[in-house]
Structure 1
Amino acid sequence: MVKTWKDSDVNLDLIKNQTIAVIGYGIQGNAQANNLKDSGLNVIVGLQESGPSWKKAQQDGHKVLTIPQACQQADIIHILIPDMVQAQVYKELIGPNLKAGKALSFSHAAAIHWNWIQAPKDVDIIMVAPKGPGSKVRETYQQGFGTPSIVAVYQDYTKKAWERTLGIAKGLGSTRAGVIETTFKEEVETDWFGEQVDLCGGSASMVMNAFETLVEAGYQPEIAYFEVLHELKLIVDMIQRYGVAGMYRRVSETARYGGLTRGPMVMDASVKEKMKKALKMIQDGTFNQEWISDYQKNGKNSFDRFMKQIEAHQIETVGKNMRKMMWPDSTE
């Protein structure tokens, strides 16, 4: 049975006297630092002094320090910088400022699970991973609710790692929605799998293939865009709110019968076998090695050859015009 916690299960006082250094002030860093501060916790922000986020964090009311200074002052070092720079920043700026009893905290397990960071044995290693983008983490908190999180302890040197983990989760507002226990291994493997075969890779590829099928059959691109891309959000929202069966109960009978009979025809056993192959490549480290190698060679340009293909696709050129029609003031 999965272990869960709600708001009444966690006492925030257990970490009230500890200083939390949020390292990074991007989408997640911004949201999490502000939620923790608004919950009454002692938060400082660690950044590169020349970085663009320094002034923004100060304007938001944070005490901002260099990363080494923040790590020296902190009891909990909450690392929210991009995955691929964590190892270097840890080696140069964080690691030298670790002392026994401090905690390294993450919102994604990759750096620890794949040994990008090799931490000492005399610190806690914990994770609080909100299951939503930073904007949602902040928005739901301000609405008096919260974004659910999954939590894990990888190393419990102080024997108080769980107090720290759950305290951060409560400070983020996550216990208002619910917090679920996981492991570092489970988080990174399921997270990458979801991104690759469903949330990002799978859904985008499915939409583009469906669009091409309609256009190649002679249908207007604008109509195809509406049917296979625009309306997808309505269905996903229903699935998120009511589950798969709940979605089917809320669409037309024709949509229900067509989806139930033709969905498995398209997403058949061969697709599932490909999903298993993608999962295996995550589990055995193949994807990790490929990603590290590509990033070391090309840096942020690793994405360019793929993004150029998508940006040149007809669904993107049609989509820009369609979105401009629906949301004239939007910028892309």
Structure 2
Amino acid sequence: MEPFVLNSVANVAQVAQLTGPDSINHTDRFDVAGQDLGSMFEADGRTWFVFGDTFGEREPGLTGGGGTRWRSNAMAWSTDTDPTDGIRLDGYLLDEQGGAAEVLPSEKIDQREMTVIPTYGFAANGAMYLAFMSVRHWGDPGEWETNFAGLARSRDQGRTWVKLDHPRWSGDSNFVQVSVVNRDGDLYFWGVTHGRFGGVRLMKVAEADVEKQGAYRYFAGTDDDGRPRWSADEAAATTIVQDTVGELSVVWNSYLSRWLMTYSNGGSTDVSIREGVNPWGPWGAEIPLVTQEAVPGLYAPYQSPISGTDGGATIYFTLSVWGPYNVYWFKADLVSTR
């Protein structure tokens, strides 16, 4: 097997605006004028979109997060399986007023708990889970302080959520922000710390044991035959991608037969893509996916689990843009060396 086959990306383009009053979904009807993030996972025959801080009204020309009726997070779903023309959102999880609900509450007190941001969702054991971080304080661009990271669970298709007391990871661990994939009954968590200035580490757990802190195993390198070593000690986790990584997303790409990782690159301020031979690597070199020059204020490139009609040769992903503070749908063609 060739170690790496992704040469570059081509034909990168915005397909549609997904959120905001002027988007294809006209999300103001759900009391959403601005929101960011938009990671995705599949459950119950739907693709779920998980958003960050959400605002009901925004003044014209306002830059970045802000506005009235602030919710720390929101969730929408779609049954649209054609990513080529943008994704139509069927609806949001709603509150009693008919607007997009805050699914995970926060204190909204700076230096204590400013907000609660879901970093990824997944399905397991007939339930839905959200990995989230409790943010204590937003710092300089690309930096923030967190209290802890943990999981929340819903057993009723997202209508109600419970923040679990365990498992949890400290606010300075390398698993504050994660991307999660179920592979043959094991849940793999690629993780980074708070902000966008650390490398990626990996942990896994059997799906049945997802709520058991002691069942998690941390990738601790490979043996002489290249086989992965797993440790019960979080401190033994080794860095598998050395870069300035935030808001990461990992999926299996059937076209390349490789793992693909996309992320906000705190060093270059672009968003990047890499390929991996195994979940733990080796991982290829960083390739710019979308540049700050092309899309000023870009961040959070979350890959879609829907590959479209070309077997994964074109990838689709959400991209947040800070200025308008909304989420956009992008595509890129993968250029292979094969």
With normalisation by structure 1, the TM-score equals 0.27
Query: Higher relative CO (CA 8 A, sep ≥ 6), structure 1 or 2?
Result: 2
- The structure whose residues are more often helix, as a share, is 1
With normalisation by structure 2, the TM-score equals 0.27
- The structure whose residues are more often strand, as a share, is 2
